[in-house]
């Protein structure tokens, strides 16, 4: 089996420094690479974009950033939409939109379910991130986004598909819109930061009439009477339970500590993560 | 060698080099001239004629040379002209009248440059990488870069990737793990966008003149910022500028005012502390006296507790990366966002700390970039109230016995009074966690929990952006109070103890601090000894002619509009050599000096960075400012507020040399401890200057030549490349690599110290009661009260809870006892402010560097956390609390107007929960100014949010600005501007 390119993207490591976005612009604005791409327009294209995502409510908030780009699908709908063989899949897995053959084919833009293709009005061509194939073909060892990323979010891997499946399983990688079955070659790590919710709270206790953070309290989350997760509060009395399904409905939460008794509450989990506010031990909700 | 033979040889060499190098042949065609070399008594000489590229020469004395180089005697001439050339001999000859140049300055400079060119023409820079592409190197404010060039055009710009020849990286062993930084440099966004900046459509490509400006007739000053510009020739532009300099100088010393931004493009030569200073010292001018922007609270406040004046009052940082990773049990980031503006070298180290499981707490009204990335506990006090939280921590530490009593007893003074204040014995108000809650809105229980962890664990306090100062809460109206509190917290926990110190892993990498390479604040070729750190090393290492400004007139930067419009301004000195230097007051006009007649504006615009900036707009329309010339690379908001515009080129179009984040002694000593590897780069001239733009160095040279100062300015025809070589030779680089190799490869990685020879940890010496052993030459020897190296730079030599120096002045906001004071922008106390219920934070921006990189065509414009495009214009982003936005019917990306009495600015809303309700955060990252109506009295669509900040200084007797926490209101922008500035503001 042939070795093919894949890109692993670790969402937890992304700092939104925007270097990947800028490096791609630096590489393509004003530069033509015959056989690979026409120049990118000066503004408006995000071949590699970084999506901002917030979870929670003040004062318990998490911000995550997710780089997105062409997924180099093995079963690429953009290829089917292109006439004249304008989009080809290379033996190494990279999908390339031919800058000559694709001229005028604006429909290709809408064929991508990931919104990864941009229409270049000046050049009249559809364009997307093509894995720096022009550089890899010249002998570069890594892509510009990997080179520019200060926190090693990206890891390009040229491996056989079976090996990639093993890696994916081992590291719990996921792809975008797997339900479409397009076999993307961009794999995400820590995708739950985008797709799932957390529930958080601050547990307090009263010691000699003074409100204190309840450290080391036991937090048990259940659904329909079944325990789902367990956590301990930190020195600020805070806890956070992550990786809960969005819109997963009613939950019960019980908190207890040896010294200050217990408390319980219930909530419905919707689209967004939830900060339950303060939960006072010794009072049953 | 004999004089006559040397001269004969010189002529032969000219011919030979011309035969071998077409580039040199072409150069010889640039001028026709007759140059005479002779002894003063005319006993011997030779003249050289260059005509249409041909070289003729005869022994003897020509009757009509264009210029003559006259040596006092033969011995001097022979020493001067015999290679290898000794720079010290050369400048000695020039300074002591052993050599004179008579005649045309311009031709003499050209000829001497040509002689130097014989050597330069053989130099080859850059590394060919195939397909006609050459890889050069350069330096940016965002880090050093590789620049790939093909066919005279920049192809790409990347970080520097090290190869096997480069020095190995250091390793820190901590808690059973080993940490080594990656083998490359990282870039900030404003470094990675540079290609788009070079080719930005905002580039100024030709000299220009305002259409309705006539230097000999109607100047139409009131139309600055409104009228169009027309292209003129360099000759015309330079003629106007030179005649304006002469006209101004006729009014007396100081009539020419020169201004520059706080930063410039990277590099030792092109920086304002270099060529700019040399040039202006030769002309004579009034300068803007820079206040320590971004260090306000540290400089005017914290310094009094412990000295560190040459560090602007901030703490030491040596060895803190290793100490923190090895021993710290808690990291508190207080108003500390290191990921915001100086790249990402430290980011990896903080990830190591996270990997080691060191818990982190972030105190900031905004869940800042660093906090969002690292996670941990976020505490978001109401802006400007942080000191109340800090005092409550002291309260818990005192009442629960959680502080370093031994340190307090042996190394500090005044704790008794401080303790009495905290406990409420002196003012009846104990500074309890409950008391602080009313101020900060931080739950009392959280303050207590923080205090207890901090008191029990070895804690690193990252105070300000760099962890050891800079920005954040230190630059608000309460910044002095806050920075002072940071030092007090440090003292109560015994800073210097293993695992207890200031820092957030941004500074203090284990590098070699003795390897000498100058930073830009060391003055480079300026010859300026008083207002740069030139005298410390550079002046000896790179002998060059001293220069001095004969005018004694300075204007406090933050009071420039008042100086021009009202004719007076006063301020307090930034004098880092001592603690008390800042008490000295100075004013404009200086006795016997002239009022300003012209302004020479150089570099980046100020509208986005100076507070209450509508004042700046109005200043330009004042009749008190008869002439303004603007020397800039880009057409930005302030550019059209000029009469003549001179196009400068970028650092990619000229030669320079510099080290990654080495700004040099005098600014931030050893600032390069922020990066993982010391990288010195030759900043190749990668491409030719665009359009008719020229390097700053060459523009100054052209003006200087018209004033007969060219030879002096260029020190005998040195080009920028010659100066690069001189800087190279002056540094320790020359001991490690050759010029030829450096020229080709373009960078050098300075080997880190071996593990057993690393710099000692910051303040450990003080904690342990030893003499100072950290590698910084501060404080000045005279500032030790006891023996040299003993104690701190305070009156007592100890950390002073109640600084003696502050008892010497009577500044209401800086009492010796740092008691809690509320922000003076207080809606509860001031009915005039009732309409402005929101607090505005104006932090440094993350993507441009201050405002550098905020130009149309720059790729940063497409970053939606910086600007959002609405109807074709990219509006600056303002982060607003989700609830505050919803209450005003504002959605994401809606245009909103932020305003108060001082200013009105349209931004694009970004809704977030990362801010507490009642707070708006918009970065001071705008290079644009787009008034919706009359400039200075209408809403700005460009995003200069500093328009909203007060001009009031941080304290009465301190020349520091006080942005942040200004009160404002916002609403959905209607598109119709009715806002009027209220002068009472
Ligand atoms: S992500 Fe879109 S453009 Fe890329 S291969 Fe898949 S369908 Fe085509
Ligand atoms: S370069 Fe890396 S950290 Fe920066 S935005 Fe892209 S993925 Fe995120």
For B811-861, give the secondary structure using H, E and C: CCCCCCCCCCCCCCCCCCCCHHHCCCCEEEECCCCCCCECCECCCCCCHHH
Q: Are B977 and B938 in contact (CB under 8 A)?
A: yes
CB spacing of B864 vs A52 below 8 angstroms: yes
**Chain A residues with CB-CB distance to B203 below 8 A:** none
Residue tagged active-site, from B148, B272, B460, B520: B520
Query: What span, in angstroms and rounded, lies between the C-alpha atoms of B715 and B701?
Result: 11
Q: How far is CA B707 from CA A268, B276, B703, in A?
A: 79, 16, 7
Ligand 1 midpoint to CA A177 (Å): 12
- Give me the sheet containing B598-602, strands edge to edge: B229-231, B208-210, B644-647, B627-632, B598-602, B256-260, B286-289, B554-556
Please tell me the predicted confidence (pLDDT) of residue B356: 98
Q: Which of B451, B857, B859 to mutate against chain A (most A CBs within 10 Å)? A: B859
Catalytic site residue B263? yes
User: Atom of ligand 2 at shortest distance to CA of A151?
Assistant: 3
| Closest CA–CA distance from residue A221 to any residue of chain B (Å) | 22
Q: Are B51 and B84 in contact (CB under 8 A)?
A: no
| Ligand number, closest to the Cα atom of A109 | 1
Q: For chain B, say whether A42 makes contact (Cβ under 8 Å).
A: yes
Distance from CA of B447 to the nearest CA of A (A): 9
Contacts of A151 in chain B (CB under 8 A): 344, 347-348, 351, 373
Give the separation between CA B762 and CA B775, rounded to whole angstroms: 10
In whole angstroms, give the CA distance from residue B762 to residue B759: 9
A151 pocket-lining for ligand 2 (C-beta < 6 Å): yes
Q: How far apart are CA B173 and CA B755, in angstroms?
A: 10
Q: Rounded mean pLDDT of chain A? A: 97
For chain A, give the percent of residues with pLDDT over 70. 99
Q: Using an 8 Å CB-CB cutoff, list chain A residues near B155.
A: 31
Which of A95, A106, A109, A188 should be mutated for ligand 1, with most atoms under 8 A from CB?
Answer: A95
Active site residue B783: no
Q: Pocket residues for ligand 1 (CB within 6 Å)?
A: A 70-73, 76-78, 95, 112, 114, 116-117, 128, 182
Q: How far is the CA of B750 from the centre of ligand 2 (A)?
A: 28
B984 pLDDT tier (thresholds 50, 70, 90) = low
Asked if the model's pLDDT at residue A285 lies above 70, the reply is no
Kindly report, residue by residue over B725-766, the tens digit of the pLDDT.
999 999 999 999 999 999 999 999 999 999 999 999 999 999
Is A92 part of the contact surface with chain B (CB cutoff 8 Å)?
no
Strands B873-881 and B919-922: antiparallel
Q: Which CATH architecture has domain B320-507?
A: 3-Layer(aba) Sandwich (3.40)
Give all domains of chain A, ordered by start, each with its CATH number. 4-194 (3.30.70.20), 197-280 (2.60.40.10)
CB of A171 within 8 Å of a chain B CB? The answer is no
CB A187 within 8 A of CB A174: yes
Q: Minimal CA–CA distance to B648: which of B206, B199, B271, B259?
A: B206
What is the DSSP-derived secondary structure letter of residue B762? T
CA–CA separation, B534 and B268 (whole Å): 12
pLDDT-based confidence at B476, cuts 50/70/90? Answer: confident
What integer is the mean pLDDT of B185-198?
97
Tell me if residue B293 is catalytic.
yes
Which of A23, A43, A54 lies at the smallest CB-CB distance from B861?
Answer: A43
pLDDT for A283 equals 58
What is the A67 CA–ligand 1 centroid distance (Å)? 15
Q: In terms of CA atoms, which chain B residue is nearest residue A13?
A: B373
What pLDDT band is residue B377 in, cutting at 50, 70 and 90? very high
Tell me the residue ranges of DSSP E strands in B368-524. 377-379, 412-413, 459-463, 501-502
Q: Which of A31, A211, A235 sits opposite B155 (nearest CB)?
A: A31
Prediction pTM value:
0.97
Q: Do A46 and B862 touch (CB under 8 A)?
A: yes
Give A-chain residues touching B912 at CB under 8 angstroms: 54
- Taking the CA atoms of residue B422, residue B427, residue B429 and residue B433 in that order, the dihedral angle to the nearest 10 degrees is -20
Instruction: Determine contact: A17 vs chain B, CB below 8 A.
Output: yes
Q: Which ligand is nearest to the CA of A188?
A: 2
Ligand 1 binding pocket mutation candidate from A6, A9, A67, A73 (most atoms within 8 A of CB): A73
Show the beta-strand stretches assigned E in B614-716.
627-632, 644-647, 656-659, 678-683
Taking the CA of residue A181 and the nearest CA in chain B, the distance in Å comes to 31
pLDDT at B823 over 80: yes
CB pairs under 8 A between A and B: 141
- Residue nearest atom 3 in ligand 2 by C-alpha distance: A14
For ligand 2, is residue A15 a contact (CB within 6 Å)? yes
Atom of ligand 2 nearest to the CA of A148: 1
For A31, other C-beta atoms within 10 Å of its C-beta total 19
Q: Which two tokens stand for residue A275?
A: 């900060």
Domain locations in chain B?
3-120, 320-507, 831-972
| Ligand 2 centroid distance, CA of A17 (Å) | 5
- Put simply, the answer to whether A23 touches B158 (Cβ < 8 Å) is yes
Q: Which residue has 């010496």 as its token pair?
A: B765
Specify the pLDDT at position B263: 85
For B831-972, the fitting CATH number among 3.10.20.30, 3.40.50.150, 3.40.605.10, 2.40.40.20 is 2.40.40.20
d(CA B272, CA B264): 7
Average pLDDT, chain B: 95
Helix (H, G, I), strand (E, B) or coil at B79: helix
| Contact by Cβ (8 Å): B910, B865 | yes
Task: For this complex, say whether ipTM is above 0.95.
Answer: yes
Atom 6 (ligand 2): residue with closest C-alpha?
A20
Distance from CA of B856 to the nearest CA of A (A): 10
Ligand number, closest to the Cα atom of A8: 2
3-state secondary structure of B13: helix
Domains B320-507 and B831-972 in one fold: no
From the CB of A62, is ligand 2 less than 6 Å away? Answer: no
- The Cα B597–Cα B602 span in angstroms is 16
- Is the pLDDT score of A94 beyond 90? yes
Cβ B384 vs Cβ B964: under 8 Å: yes
For the cut 60, the answer to whether the pLDDT of residue B825 exceeds it is yes
CATH of B3-120 among 3.30.1050.10, 3.40.50.150, 3.40.50.300, 3.40.250.10: 3.30.1050.10
Distance from CA of B78 to the nearest CA of A (A): 53
In the reported structure, the alpha carbon of residue A160 is separated from the centroid of ligand 1 by a whole-number distance in angstroms of 20
Given B195, B857, B915, which is nearest A26 (Cβ)?
A: B195
Of the listed ranges B185-189, B273-277, B551-555, B831-835, the least confidently predicted one is B831-835
- Closest-CA residue, ligand 1 atom 8, reads A78
Measuring from atom 1 of ligand 2, which residue has the nearest CA? A149
B777 versus A48: the higher-pLDDT residue is A48
Atom of ligand 2 nearest to the CA of A50: 5
Residues of B in contact with A58 (CB under 8 A): 380, 881-882, 913-917
Percent of chain B beyond pLDDT 70? 100
Residues of B within 8 A of A236 (CB-CB) are 377, 446, 449-450
**For residue B341, pLDDT beyond 80:** no
- The widest CA-to-CA distance across chain B, in whole angstroms, is 94
Taking the Cβ of residue A209 and every Cβ of chain B, the question of whether any pair is shorter than 8 Å is answered with no
Contact state of A26 with B156 under an 8 Å Cβ cutoff: yes
What's the gap in Å between A67 CA and the centre of ligand 2? 7
The reply to whether residue B445 touches residue A204, judged by beta carbons under 8 angstroms, is yes
* pLDDT over 60 (residue A284): no
B102 SS3 class: strand
């Amino acid at each position: 089996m042939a070795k093919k390119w894949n890109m692993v993207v670790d969402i937890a490591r992304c700092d939104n420094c925007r270097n990947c976005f800028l490096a791609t612009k630096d590489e393509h604005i004003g530069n033509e690479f015959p056989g690979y791409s026409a120049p990118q327009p000066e503004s408006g294209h995000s071949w590699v974009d970084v999506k901002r995502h917030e979870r929670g409510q003040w004062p318990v908030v998490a911000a995550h950033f997710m780089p997105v780009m062409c997924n180099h699908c093995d079963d690429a709908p953009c290829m089917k939409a292109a006439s004249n063989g304008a989009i080809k899949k290379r033996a190494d897995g990279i999908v390339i939109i031919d800058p000559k053959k694709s001229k005028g084919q604006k429909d290709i833009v809408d064929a991508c379910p990931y919104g990864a293709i941009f229409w270049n009005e000046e050049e009249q061509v559809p364009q997307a991130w093509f894995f720096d194939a022009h550089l890899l073909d010249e002998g570069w060892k890594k892509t510009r986004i990997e080179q520019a990323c200060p926190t090693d979010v990206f890891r390009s891997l040229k491996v056989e598909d079976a090996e990639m499946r093993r890696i994916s399983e081992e590291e719990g990688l996921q792809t975008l819109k797997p339900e479409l079955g397009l076999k993307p070659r961009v794999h995400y790590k820590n995708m739950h930061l985008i797709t799932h919710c957390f529930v958080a709270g601050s547990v307090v206790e009263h010691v000699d009439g003074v409100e204190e953070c309840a450290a080391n309290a036991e937090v048990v989350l259940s659904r329909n009477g079944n325990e789902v997760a367990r956590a301990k509060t930190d020195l600020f009395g805070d806890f956070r339970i992550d990786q809960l399904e969005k819109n997963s409905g009613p939950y019960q939460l019980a908190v207890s500590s040896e010294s200050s008794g217990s408390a319980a509450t219930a909530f419905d989990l919707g689209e967004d993560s939830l900060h339950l506010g303060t939960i006072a031990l010794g009072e049953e909700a | 060698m004999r004089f006559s033979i040397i001269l004969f040889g010189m002529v032969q060499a000219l011919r030979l080099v011309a035969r071998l190098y077409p580039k040199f042949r072409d150069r010889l065609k640039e001028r026709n001239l007759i140059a005479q070399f002779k002894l003063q008594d005319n006993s011997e000489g030779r003249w050289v004629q260059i005509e249409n590229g041909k070289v003729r020469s005869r022994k003897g004395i020509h009757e009509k040379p264009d210029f003559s180089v006259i040596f006092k005697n033969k011995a001097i001439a022979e020493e001067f002209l015999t290679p290898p050339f000794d720079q010290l001999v050369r400048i000695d000859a020039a300074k002591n009248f052993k050599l004179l140049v008579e005649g045309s300055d311009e031709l003499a400079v050209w000829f001497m440059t040509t002689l130097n060119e014989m050597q330069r023409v053989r130099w080859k820079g850059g590394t060919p990488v195939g397909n006609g592409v050459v890889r050069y190197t350069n330096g940016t404010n965002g880090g050093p870069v590789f620049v790939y060039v093909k066919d005279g055009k920049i192809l790409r710009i990347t970080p520097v990737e090290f190869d096997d020849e480069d020095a190995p990286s250091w390793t820190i062993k901590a808690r059973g793990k080993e940490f080594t930084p990656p083998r490359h440099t990282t870039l900030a966004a404003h470094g990675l966008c540079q290609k788009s900046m070079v080719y930005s459509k905002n580039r100024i490509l030709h000299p220009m003149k305002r259409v309705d400006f006539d230097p000999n007739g109607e100047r139409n000053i009131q139309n600055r910022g409104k009228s169009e510009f027309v292209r003129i020739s360099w000759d015309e532009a330079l003629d106007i500028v030179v005649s304006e300099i002469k006209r101004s100088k006729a009014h007396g010393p100081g009539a020419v005012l020169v201004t520059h931004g706080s930063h410039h493009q990277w590099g030792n030569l092109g920086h304002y502390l270099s060529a700019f200073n040399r040039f202006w010292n030769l002309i004579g001018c009034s300068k803007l006296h820079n206040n320590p922007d971004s260090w306000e609270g540290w400089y005017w406040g914290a310094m009094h507790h412990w000295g560190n004046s040459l560090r602007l009052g901030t703490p030491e940082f040596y060895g803190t990366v290793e100490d923190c990773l090895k021993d710290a049990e808690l990291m508190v980031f207080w108003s500390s966002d290191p990921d915001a503006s100086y790249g990402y070298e430290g980011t990896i180290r903080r990830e190591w700390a996270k990997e080691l499981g060191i818990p982190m707490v972030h105190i900031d009204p905004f869940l800042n970039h660093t906090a969002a990335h690292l996670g941990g506990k976020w505490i978001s006090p109401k802006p400007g109230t942080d000191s109340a939280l800090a005092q409550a921590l002291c309260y818990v530490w005192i009442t629960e016995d959680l502080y370093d009593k031994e340190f307090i007893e042996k190394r500090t003074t005044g704790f008794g009074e401080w303790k009495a204040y905290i406990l409420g014995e002196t003012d009846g108000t104990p500074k309890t966690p409950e008391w602080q809650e009313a101020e900060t809105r931080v739950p009392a229980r959280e303050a207590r929990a923080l205090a207890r962890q901090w008191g029990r664990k070895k804690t690193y306090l990252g105070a300000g952006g760099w962890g050891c100062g800079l920005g954040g809460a230190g630059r608000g109206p309460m910044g002095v109070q806050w920075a002072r509190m940071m030092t007090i917290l440090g003292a109560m926990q015994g800073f210097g103890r293993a695992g207890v110190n200031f820092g957030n892993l941004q500074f203090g990498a284990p590098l070699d601090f003795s390897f000498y390479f100058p930073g830009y604040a060391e003055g480079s070729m300026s010859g300026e000894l008083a207002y740069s750190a030139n005298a410390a090393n550079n002046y000896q290492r790179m002998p060059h002619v001293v220069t001095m400004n004969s005018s004694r007139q300075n204007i406090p930067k933050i009071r420039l509009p008042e100086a021009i419009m009202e004719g007076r301004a006063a301020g307090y000195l930034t004098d880092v050599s001592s603690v008390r230097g800042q008490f000295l007051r100075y004013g404009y006009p200086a006795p016997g000096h002239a009022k300003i007649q012209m302004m020479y504006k150089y570099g980046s615009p100020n509208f986005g960075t100076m507070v209450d900036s509508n004042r700046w707009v109005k200043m330009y329309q004042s009749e008190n400012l008869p002439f303004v010339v603007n020397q800039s690379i880009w057409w930005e908001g302030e550019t059209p507020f000029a009469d003549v515009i001179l196009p400068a080129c970028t650092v990619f179009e000229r030669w320079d040399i510099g080290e990654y984040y080495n700004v040099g002694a005098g600014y931030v000593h050893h600032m390069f401890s922020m990066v993982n590897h010391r990288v010195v780069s030759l900043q190749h001239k990668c491409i030719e200057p665009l359009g008719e733009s020229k390097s700053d160095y060459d523009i100054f040279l052209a003006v200087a030549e018209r004033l007969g100062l060219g030879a002096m300015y260029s020190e005998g025809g040195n080009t920028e490349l010659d100066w690069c070589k001189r800087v190279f030779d002056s540094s320790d680089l020359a001991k490690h690599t050759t010029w030829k190799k450096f020229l080709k490869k373009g960078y050098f990685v300075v080997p880190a110290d071996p593990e057993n020879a690393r710099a000692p940890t910051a303040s450990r010496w003080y904690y342990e009661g030893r003499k100072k052993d950290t590698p910084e030459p501060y404080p000045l020897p005279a500032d030790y009260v006891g023996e040299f190296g003993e104690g701190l730079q305070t009156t007592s030599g100890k950390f002073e809870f109640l600084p003696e120096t502050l008892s010497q002045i009577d500044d209401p906001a800086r009492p010796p006892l740092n008691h809690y004071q509320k922000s003076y922008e207080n809606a509860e106390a001031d009915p005039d402010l009732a309409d402005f219920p929101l607090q505005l934070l104006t932090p440094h921006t993350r993507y441009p560097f201050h405002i550098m990189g905020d130009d149309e065509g720059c790729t940063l414009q497409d970053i939606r956390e910086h600007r959002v495009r609405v109807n074709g214009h990219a509006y600056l982003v303002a982060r607003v609390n989700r609830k505050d936005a919803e209450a005003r019917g504002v959605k994401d990306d809606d245009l909103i107007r932020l305003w108060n009495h001082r200013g009105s600015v349209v931004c694009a809303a970004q809704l977030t929960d990362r801010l507490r309700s009642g707070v708006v955060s918009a970065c001071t990252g705008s290079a644009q100014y787009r008034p919706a109506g009359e400039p200075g009295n209408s809403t700005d669509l460009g995003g200069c949010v500093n328009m909203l900040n007060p001009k009031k200084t941080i304290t009465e007797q301190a020349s520091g600005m006080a942005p942040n926490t200004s009160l404002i209101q916002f609403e959905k922008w209607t598109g119709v501007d009715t806002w009027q500035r209220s002068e009472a503001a």
